[in-house]
Amino acid sequence: MKMVFLALLGLHSAVAVIHSLKYFYTGSSQVPNFPEYVVVGVLNDVQMDICDSNIKRAEPKQDWMNDITKDDPEYWKTQTEICFSVQPVFKANIETAKQRFNQTGGVHIAQGMLGCEWDDETGEVNGFNQQGYDGEDFIVFDLKTETWIAPKQQAVITKQKWDENKARIAQLKNYLTQGCPCWLKKYLNYGRSSLMRTELPSVSLLQKTPSSPVSCFATGFYPDRVMIFWRKDGEELHENVERGEILPNHDGSFQTSADLNISSVTPEDWRRYECVFQLSGVKEDIITKLDQTAIQTNWGKTGDGSSSGLPLGAVMGGVVVLLLLVVGIAGYFLWRMTNMETSED
């Protein structure tokens, strides 16, 4: 599924924030040790609840989600009913997709993402509903044209059928532009103290080998509205710098990095370089000087001859594990409108 990344400028000023509510879902066939049906809810890239065919209920993943029952004691019972009312649809859709692709048995996965984004300054709303099969996009809803897009030839029949169902399209549009943003704002209100918190990172300089780029690695920060870059003599560098993605940690915080290619940097010029980390809502930058004695490596010693304090392999290994966890949490989908999805049959 295509992921949307937000470029945020002017982090130290009172900038607008684009909030998101996304439901990822997965229906699977013959996948060992994995639920046949999984639904995961994500608010501002933080998992808030889950529902799957193993636990057989919807349940919170954040403490603040329990506060909803103060206003609606039947909330989790209702969400469980909604969640599992859609499970048969995924089983039917997998069977239909197998026929379209001339498949018989084997492992197959149907995935999807439903949700919306809301700009808290302009009020602009954007909604999306996209579905995939066996790791590739299958059909995507275009909210602007109110039509379905079929990236695969096998999905053309589905596109034609769904495009003709104007009532269903109107229902989906209403949810994406009205219902979803309403729930998004409601969840934000419950989780405000947690979601609006600010946590500063720990920043380290890491290097795999003496000839490798120096990585400025920041972890443990929140929220994920950050900028990290290298500069020389106070000027931001754009060449010989590679920025990493912002990735989630297991505790809800985030990590990111920026790599500086030092192959052409002479030892006497190292002091002219520094890594800058900026966090939205925080006035002070976190500045880390390019200092050979501060670099932590996994190839032996730091610049001053002492043992390195943090093996880079362990750090990068943790990143890989996190990526696998993100991929492993297959999809996420909380169907708030009954009968929104119908089988492709």
| Same structural domain, 147 and 44 | yes
CA 47 to chain CA centroid, Å, is 9
CATH code for the domain of 237 = 2.60.40.10
95 within 8 A of 111, measured Cβ to Cβ: no
Residue 165 lies in a domain: yes
pLDDT at 314: 37
| Same structural domain, 156 and 223 | no
61 within 8 A of 48, measured Cβ to Cβ: yes
User: 162, 195, 228 — which closes off a domain?
Assistant: 195
Taking residues 320-327, report their average pLDDT.
36
Say if residue 59's pLDDT is above 80: yes
Residue 184 lies in a domain: yes
Say if residue 304's pLDDT is above 90: no
pLDDT at 16: 54
Q: Which of 146-155, 294-303, 311-320 has the highest mean pLDDT?
A: 146-155
The β-bridge partners of 119 are 18
| Same structural domain, 128 and 250 | no
Residue 321 lies in a domain: no
Lowest mean pLDDT among 129-143, 194-208, 319-333: 319-333
Say if residue 7's pLDDT is above 70: no
User: What value does the mean pLDDT of the chain take?
Assistant: 84
Question: 263 falls in which pLDDT band (50, 70, 90)?
Answer: very high
Distance CA 307, CA 148 (A): 58
CATH code for the domain of 171 = 3.30.500.10
| Same structural domain, 114 and 211 | no
pTM beyond 0.75: no
CA 99 to chain CA centroid, Å, is 32
| Same structural domain, 142 and 228 | no
Say if residue 342's pLDDT is above 70: no
| Same structural domain, 166 and 296 | no
Residue 331 lies in a domain: no
Taken in order 75, 76, 79, 80, the sign of the CA dihedral is negative
Distance CA 82, CA 341 (A): 12
Question: 312 falls in which pLDDT band (50, 70, 90)?
Answer: very low
| Same structural domain, 156 and 276 | no
Q: What percent of the chain has pLDDT over 90?
A: 66
Identify the domain containing residue 84 by its residue range.
Answer: 18-195
Residue 50 lies in a domain: yes
Q: What percent of the chain has pLDDT over 70?
A: 82
| Same structural domain, 112 and 237 | no
Say if residue 311's pLDDT is above 80: no
User: 134, 169, 195 — which closes off a domain?
Assistant: 195
User: 195, 210, 237 — which closes off a domain?
Assistant: 195
| Same structural domain, 180 and 247 | no
Question: 299 falls in which pLDDT band (50, 70, 90)?
Answer: low
Residue 320 lies in a domain: no
pLDDT at 274: 97
| Same structural domain, 176 and 46 | yes
Say if residue 340's pLDDT is above 80: no
| Same structural domain, 224 and 141 | no
Residue 60 lies in a domain: yes
Give the chain's domain count: 2
pLDDT at 32: 86
| Same structural domain, 158 and 245 | no
Q: Which residue did the predictor score with more confidence, 343 or 148?
A: 148
Residue 159 lies in a domain: yes
